[in-house]
Structures are given as structure tokens and as C-alpha cells.
Amino acid sequence: MSADERRQAVLAAAVHEFARAGFAGTSTEAIAARAGISQPYLFRLFASKRELFIAAVDRCFARVERRFAEVSEGLEGSEALEAMGEGYAELISDRDLLLLQLQAYAASADEGIAAFVRRRYVELVTVIAERTGLGPDELRPFFAMGMLCNVSTALGLFDVDQLWGGLAWSEHAEARPGACPLSEAASDAVREAAATTHHPQPQA
């Protein structure tokens, strides 16, 4: 295995471990063990745990950007934004990608990590704005709904009907036109991800 292949294997292991335990709670020993390498070799590839965490978060941002570009090819405006919403609903069925996003925000007490995540978030907003040609009024609800998707999927909240006032997501969107940039298909995909995701029970 080449050094680059080994690096990608370490990144994949890091995404999984950091998604579960966060920056502070994850040991480089656990990542090295999952990747099948020694801890000293891990530090030959990444100079510090912080550098590895940032690289793992960057990998997730890049994956989202690639997917948005793929699903919005040839589209513009609200059609492009809706396609991105559907693509995002599919992406967050990957629990590692979903939880690592949340862990990236939680690690913002570390200024180095916070600065990186801020920059990548701004870059993502810019990519979507340029791809769709839409402005703040359209993009704000898209990102707000994206965060609602994250939290609801992470916690498996879609079975708690009263949270949405007794309305399904798609019905809620119809009741408030323009409030939900995700289509019914995207909403269904997110619900399915929440239903099939394993939610560990607290240990006594």
C-alpha cells in the first residue's frame, strides 16, 4: 500500500472514530488501530491529532461539495437548490458524515479548528450561492433546514410527530410555501435514514 493509500485509510478511520467520540474524546491509538498501523506511523502521516481532525472534517466538506455539484449539474435557481437538498438527505444517511459535522462544531473551543470550520462553511455557502444564483433570502432557509435535518436524523426525532405540530415535513412545507427547500423525496430520505440508524442506548 502506497503512502497516499495509507493516508486515505487513516482518514477513513479518523472520520469514524472522531464522529463517535469527538476531537477531545478520540485517541490516536484508536484511529491507528482501526487503520491497522502503529501510532508512530500515524504521526508520520499527520503531525498532530488536530491536523488529523481537520483533515477528516475537510474530507466531509469536500464530499458534500462534490455531491452538490453532481446533483445540480445543468440546473439553476430553486431547481438546483432542491436537487442539493435531496442529495444532502442521502448524504446524511451516512452516520459518520452526519456526526462528524456536529463534532466539528462542538470542537470550536479550539480556535485552530474553529477557524478552519468557519472557512470551510463560508466556502460551502459560496459554492451553493454561485451554483444556484440565489441570494440570502433563499439560502438562509436552506441552511436552517439542513441543520434541522442534522439534528433530527442524529437523534431519530422523525417519529415524534408533535415536534412538527402533527404535520409531516412535506405537509408543513406546503403550509408555509418557501419555508422548506427540501422536497418531499428528500424529507422521506432523511426519515428513512433516521429510522434505519442505530441509536445506542445509555448504559446503566
Q: What's the pTM?
A: 0.81
Confidence of residue 1 (pLDDT cuts 50, 70, 90): confident
Which residues make Cβ contacts (< 8 Å) with residue 167, sequence separation at least 6? 175
Residue 175 has pLDDT above 60, yes or no: no
pLDDT digits (tens, 9 = 90+) for 58-114: 999 999 999 999 999 999 999 999 999 999 989 998 999 999 999 999 999 999 999
The identity of residue 101, as a single letter, is Q
**Rg, the chain, Cα only:** 18
Summarize pLDDT for 36-56 with one digit per residue, the tens: 999 999 999 999 999 999 999
Residue 135 has pLDDT above 50, yes or no: yes
* Residue whose C-alpha is closest to residue 108's, from 32, 57, 151, 59: 57
